[in-house]
Amino acid sequence: MNKPIKSTDPQPLTPRGAGSSFTPASANGRGRASVGVGMAYQDPNEESKLPMPGTERKNADASKPSNAPPKPADTLTVLTGGAQNEPPKPAKPQASSGASVAGRSTAGPNGGSAIDTILGRLVIEQGLATRSEVEECIKSRPGEDLSGQSLASLLIDRDYVTKRQLERLRLQVEEERKGQQIPGYRVEGKLGAGAMAQVFKARQLSLDRLVAIKVLPRKHSNNPQFIERFYAEGKAAAALNHPNVVQAYDVGQAGEFHYFVMEYVEGSTVHDRIVANKRTPEREALDIAISVADALRHAHDKGLIHRDVKPKNIMITPDGVVKLADLGLARAIDDKDAALAEQGKAYGTPYYISPEQIRGEVNVGAQADIYSLGATLYHMVTGQVPFNGQNPNEVMQKHLKAPLVPPDHVNPKLSAGISEVIEKMMAKSRRDRYRDCGEVLVDLKAVRAGEVPPHAHKETTTAMLAEVAQMTTSQAPAIVEDRSQAPSPFSDGRVKTMVVVLIAVLAYAIGITIFAAFAAMS
Question: Which residues lie closer than 8 Å to 512 by C-beta, 6 or more apart?
Answer: none
What single letter denotes the amino acid at residue 223? N
Under a CB-based contact definition with an 8 Å cutoff, are residues 443 and 454 in contact? yes
445 burial via Cβ count (<10 Å: 0-12, 13-18, 19+): middle
Q: Do residues 281 and 301 touch, judged by C-beta distance below 8 A?
A: no
CB 119 within 8 A of CB 151: yes
Q: What is the pLDDT of residue 32?
A: 41
Catalytic residue among 272, 294, 308, 443: 308
- The amino acid sitting at 22 is F
Q: Per 3-state DSSP, what percentage of the chain is helix, strand, and coil (rounded to 5)? A: 45, 10, 45
pLDDT of 255 reads 74
Fold of the CATH domain 269-469: Transferase(Phosphotransferase); domain 1 (1.10.510)
Q: What is the 3-class SS of 25-87, one letter each residue? A: CCCCCCCCCCCCCCCCCCCCCCCCCCCCCCCCCCCCCCCCCCCCCCCCCCHHHHHHCCCCCCC
Q: Which of 235, 225, 230 is nearest to 214 (CA)?
A: 230
CB 372 within 8 A of CB 47: no
Which residue stretches of 342-492 are H helix? 355-358, 366-382, 392-401, 407-410, 416-425, 437-448, 454-474
What per-residue confidence (pLDDT) applies to 360?
A: 85
| Interatomic CA distance for residues 476 and 342, integer angstroms | 52
**Strand locations in 206-340 (E):** 209-215, 248-254, 257-263, 268-269, 304-305, 314-316, 322-324, 331-332
Q: Beta partners for 239?
A: none
How many other C-beta atoms are found inside a 10 Å radius of the C-beta of residue 82?
17
Per-residue model confidence as pLDDT tens digits over 108-141: 434 445 567 778 888 888 888 888 888 888 777 6
Residue 249 contacts residue 262 (beta carbons within 8 Å): yes
Alpha helices in 302-386 (DSSP H): 336-341, 355-358, 366-382
User: 330 phi and psi, to 5 degrees?
Assistant: -60, 145
Phi and psi angles of residue 202, each rounded to the nearest 5 degrees, phi first = -145, 170
Which of 48, 52, 50, 51 has its CA nearest to residue 389? 48
Angle at 187 between CA 184 and CA 193, to 5 degrees: 125
pLDDT at 432: 94
Active site residue 43: no
Q: How many residues does the chain have?
A: 522
Three-state secondary-structure class, residue 192: strand
Domain map (residue ranges) of the chain: 82-177, 269-469
Ramachandran sector of residue 449 (left: φ over 0; alpha: ψ -120 to 50; beta: rest)? alpha
Rounded CA separation 473/465 (Å):
12
φ, ψ (nearest 5 deg) of residue 488: -70, 145
Identify which of 382, 336, 343, 34 has the alpha carbon closest to the alpha carbon of residue 211: 34
Query: Which pLDDT value is given to residue 274?
Result: 95
Q: What residues in the chain have per-residue pLDDT under 70? A: 1-115, 141-149, 174-180, 194-195, 327-347, 459-491, 522
